[in-house]
Every structure is written in C-alpha cells, then in structure tokens.
Structure 1
Amino acid sequence: MTGVVEEEIPGGGVLVRPETGSRAGVLVLHGSYGPGTRERCRLLARAGLIALGIRWYGGEGQPPGICEIPLETFSRGFDLLQSVGAERLSALGLSKGAEAALWLSVLDPRTAAVVALSPTSVTWPNLGPGTDGRSLPRRSSWTWRGEPLPFAPLDENWEPAPREDGLVALRGWYEHSAALHPDRHAAAAIPVEKAAAELVLVAGGDDGTWPSPASARALRDRRPGSVLVERRAAGHRPRFPGEAPATPSTHLHYGGTDADDAALGEAAWPHVLKALHGKG
C-alpha cells in the first residue's frame, strides 16, 4: 500500500490522496450513527484511491438529522473529487449512506460504481429533525432539485421486543412497516435498474438494524450482474481489512460479532477495490 496525503475539508470533511496520485475517486458516506469516515478514507487512499469523506448532516447550515437532505450534497462531493484529478467517480456508503449512494447512481450519471454496505432497497423516512427542528410528521430522508423523494412509512405504534442485554433491534420495525404498507413500500423503491453504475452489495444476515440481506438481494434482482457479498453471522457494520472494530453501542443492537463483521469485509474487499478502480 502507498503513503497518503491528508487534507481537511470545510464543514468537517477530509480528503485523503495517495502520494503517487490516482485517477479514481470515491465519495465515502457514513451512516446514521456517526460522521466518522477518516479511517476508511485513509484505508482507501492507501489502496490507491482519492477518498473524500464529507459531513452531510448535523453540520453548520445542514439539517440536524437525516431529514430532506439534498442529494445535490453528494454531487458536489463528486465535483470536488473531479477538481483534484479524479476521472472515475464512485461512492461507498454504509446504511443510510448506502441509501444516498444508491440514489446518486440513479440521479448523477457520473457515478461509475457504488459500494453499498448494509443497504436498503427503498427510501425510508427521516431519522431526526429537519432544518425546522421537527422530527414529526415523518418526511423523506432525501430531496432532489427541491422535491422530496417518495418514502416508505414507518409504523409509529411499533414497539421493540425486549432483549436480555437491554439493546434495541430495529430490524423488526422496518420489516413490520414494509408488510403493513406494501404499496407505499414498493413505490419507494430505489430504481437502480435506471443506473449505469456497477453495484457491489454487502450484507450481514444478522443485521439487527434493518433487513439489509433481503434489500441487497432485491437490488441485485433489479440490477442483474451486481456483485452480492453476504455472510450469515455478520451484522450491520462490516469492516475492511485493517479497520478497527466498531465502537460497541449502548442502546442499539447492530448484530454480528467483530470476527464475522471482519470476515464479511474481508470477503467483500477484493470486489470493492475492483469496482472502485474500474478493473472489471
């Protein structure tokens, strides 16, 4: 692996480039539980990619939650990558970040590849407040050209089954809500069949956050030829070779174990690099 050069980006972002240069850039998107992408950007840069991690909510001038986030935010990330010499543009996202990355592949034709870790196949509603400070009533997580995207509703009356460890598994909420509103769930599908980007879909069968395995298979079915990497015992937070274990949660059950999450990331890693570098 090569050495890297790191640069702070206004708004809480980081740009990490290989010392030897690169023509392949990747926008790295965090999930809903935290904005940290720095270590992942360093790992990708050491693998020969220009990696840009941005803060896309909770920052100055941004919604405090994942609520009606303009998808143009991510297109501007592509603009920045192009400005530093990236010619092949891809996105790698985890969880809600994967949801955004998949939409980017549909809406921004510059997207050459998307790596979706623990993805959803539909748009779900907001998590947290919008710019008005309100979380309810639920709204779309995303907008495009000022218009909110259709979203699948969540059942506000759902209550999680108690776990012995006191952690909350949200997966049942999403599964129950999808079954409760099948028509709106179908209408909220992310239309990846309209995209030209390569897709690498990575999901753990023990994901406790949402049904990413079923979502990943639905995305693959809509885009034949997509790469699907699964591991039954892995959870919501796969990690690539060289990444530290995720910080344990004090309230959410993400599923999996450190060993299985690492095994899933290790299995996916060659496919990730192949897609991001465009060596297919």
Structure 2
Amino acid sequence: MLVLAGSSGRVESARCDVLAGLGATAASYRWFGEAVDLVPLESFEDALSVLHERCDRLVVMGTSRGAEAALLLGAMHEEIDAVVAISAPHVVWAALSTDRPQRSSWTRGGEPLSFVPYDDGWEPDTSPPEYVGMYEQSLETYADRVPAARLPVERISGDVLLVAGGDDRLWPSCDMAEEIVARRSAAGLPTVLVTHPAAGHRVVLPGEQPAPRSHLVHGGTPEADAELGRLVWPHLVGIVGG
C-alpha cells in the first residue's frame, strides 16, 4: 500500500504501522515540495513500481489531496488493484498557492490538468474559518469548469473504497463522494462508500491516535472520527487480503 497524506505533508508512518498489522507492506513519503502545486503525476511511479515488484497486490490509500492523487493514479495505472480514498474530492482543484492567476495542482506529460479554481470573493463567516463554504461556493461560481475537471473515476478498473465524514468542515466530502459513486454506477462499476454523520475530515483507524491539532477546522469529534475508522476497518481487511 502506498499511503498518501493530504496537504499537511506528513509522512503517514503511524498509519503504515497500523496497516502492517494487517499484513500489508505499507509505505509513505512526503510527495510534494512546498505546496500541492503542479505536482507531476509521474513522480509517483517509482514508489508504485517498488511496491508492485514486491507485492501480490497494489493499493493506493490517500486522504484529502492525497485521495485526489490516489484516484488519479488509479485511473492511470491498471496495475493498481484498489484505491482507498478518504475525504476525497470529485474534481481536480487549483493549486494550494496564493499566486495568481491560479493554476492546476497536477500535471501529466508536462501539461497541467484542467481544474476548478477557488472563488477569491469568498469570505469566511466563522473564526477560525471553515473552508467547506469556500469549496461549495467555488463549485457554484465555476460550474462551467467542473465537467473538464472531474476526476476520471470511470477509468479505475480496481476496487474503490470511499470514506467520508458528514461533519467535514474543510470541504464537502460526502457530497463529492456521492458524486463519484453516481458516476461510477452509471458506468456499471461498483463502489463502496463508508460514512458517519458526525465524523470530520480525518478518519482515525483502530490503533491510531488522533492527528495533532491543526490551524484548519476539520469538523467531527474524536469519538465519531474513531467510529468511522471502525466502520472502515473490515473493508480494509478485505482489501489487504484480496
């Protein structure tokens, strides 16, 4: 399993240890530089190749922007047997940068992928800000950009497990996950979606400790985040076991 964190940039060593307890060979690394900004999708290929050479099955697990990467990689690489996408988006988002004009988070073959920009006119109504409103407003403002920016989830031939918290205050995880499920269903592809109404942006798997507090509002509660992790666990056991 290649385990990708989100924009925190953390190396998910503790999560890899938990997954190793299931019998998985799990690896994680900081997969971007200063920010998620024009990251070449080809930059993941070495890590995928090493795992693929050593293991019978190849799985990519990502959280948040790491889940965006995981779904893109699943669509690109037929050798990926399963994608586990936690708090995943359904579109390519703009780079996490204050530079303007805005640009894509990803490139492939040296070309930027189509993306949905952030609405710079959005203003938070909470302190600290809950960015879920910014993402919702951006999807409305740039609705014409959404079709071209959709992640090509219909091209993922492997299993797809989506995990989303109903109280995610960073972005609308459940809405975006349901859009992925609907598009894959229309293509005749099964998808598993595991949710909990009171969980937030980051799931806590059995054996994990909650992530350190962040300046970002993630929503949820420690109890609900852990309960969502327990609901996900049997599906992870099945994926690791094949």
The whole-number CA distance in structure 2 between the counterparts of 1:211 and 1:276 is 28
Tell me how far apart the structure 1 counterparts of residues 13 and 67 of structure 2 sit (CA, whole Å): 17
Equivalent residue, structure 1, for 2:10: 35
> 2:118 and 2:170 mapped to 1: Cα distance?
14
Are the aligned partners of 2:22 and 2:240 in contact in 1 as well (CA < 8 Å)?
no
Is the contact between residue 23 and residue 240 of structure 2 (CA under 8 Å) also seen in structure 1? no
Asked whether 1:220 is paired with 2:181, we answer yes
* Runs of 4+ with deviation above 2 angstroms: none
Equivalent residue, structure 2, for 1:78: 48
Structure 2 residue 212 is the aligned partner of structure 1 residue 242 = no
Distance 1:167 1:186 in 2: 32
CA shift, 1:82, in A, is 2.6
C-alpha deviation, 1:36, in angstroms: 2.7
Equivalent residue of 1:81, what SS?
helix
Partner of 2:71: 102
Q: Give 1:173 shift.
A: 0.4
1:257 aligns with 2:221: yes
Task: Give the 3-state SS of the residue equivalent to 1:111 in structure 2.
Answer: coil
Normalised by the size of structure 1, how large is the TM-score? Answer: 0.82
How many residues are treated as equivalent by the alignment? 238
Which residue pairs with 1:189 in the alignment? 150
C-alpha displacement at 1:263, in angstroms? 0.4
Partners of 1:36 and 1:55 in 2: how far apart?
A: 6
Structure 1 counterpart of 2:32, one-letter code = Y
More helix by percentage: 2
Paired residue for 2:60?
Answer: 91
Q: Secondary structure at the match of 1:174?
A: helix
**Equivalent pair of 1:54/1:77 in contact (CA under 8 Å):** no
Q: RMSD of the TM alignment (CA)? A: 1.2
Output the CA distance in 1 between the equivalents of 2:108 and 2:237: 29
Residue identity matched to 1:190: L
> What is residue 113 of structure 1 aligned with on the other side?
82
In the alignment, residue 35 of structure 2 is paired with which amino acid? G
- Answering whether residue 196 of structure 2 is matched by residue 210 of structure 1, we say no
Q: Which has the higher strand share?
A: 1
Residue 187 of structure 1 deviates from its aligned partner by: 1.7
Q: CA deviation at 1:34?
A: 3.0
Could you tell me how far 1:277 is from its partner in structure 2?
Answer: 3.0
What does residue 16 of structure 1 align with? none
Instruction: Give the CA deviation at 1:55.
Output: 1.2
Q: Secondary structure at the match of 2:45?
A: helix
- Relative to the length of structure 2, the TM-score reads 0.95
Whichever residue aligns with residue 111 of structure 1, its letter is: I
Instruction: Please tell me whether the aligned partners of residues 118 and 237 of structure 1 are also in contact (alpha carbons under 8 angstroms).
Output: yes
Deviation at 1:87, TM superposition (A): 2.5
Post-superposition CA distance 1:139-166 (Å, at most 9, x none):
111111111111011111211112xxx3
After TM superposition, the structure 1 = structure 2 runs for residues 108-147 of structure 1, keeping only pairs within 5 Å, are 108-128=77-97, 135-147=99-111
Compare 182-191 and 206-215 and name the one that shifted more: 182-191
How far residue 177 of structure 1 moved from its aligned partner, in angstroms, is 0.7
SS of the residue 1:105 aligns to: helix
Output the CA distance in 1 between the equivalents of 2:97 and 2:20: 32
Contact 1:69 1:143 in 2 (8 A): yes
Counterpart residue identity of residue 24, structure 2: L
- Distance in 1 separating the partners of 2:17 and 2:26: 7
Q: Deviations over 1:87-144 (max 9, x none)?
A: 3111000000000000001111111100000010100010137xxxxx3321111111
Q: What is the DSSP-based 3-state SS (H/G/I as helix, E as strand, rest coil) of the residue aligned with 1:268? A: helix
- In structure 2, distance between residues paired with 1:234 and 1:110: 32
Contact 1:69 1:141 in 2 (8 A): yes
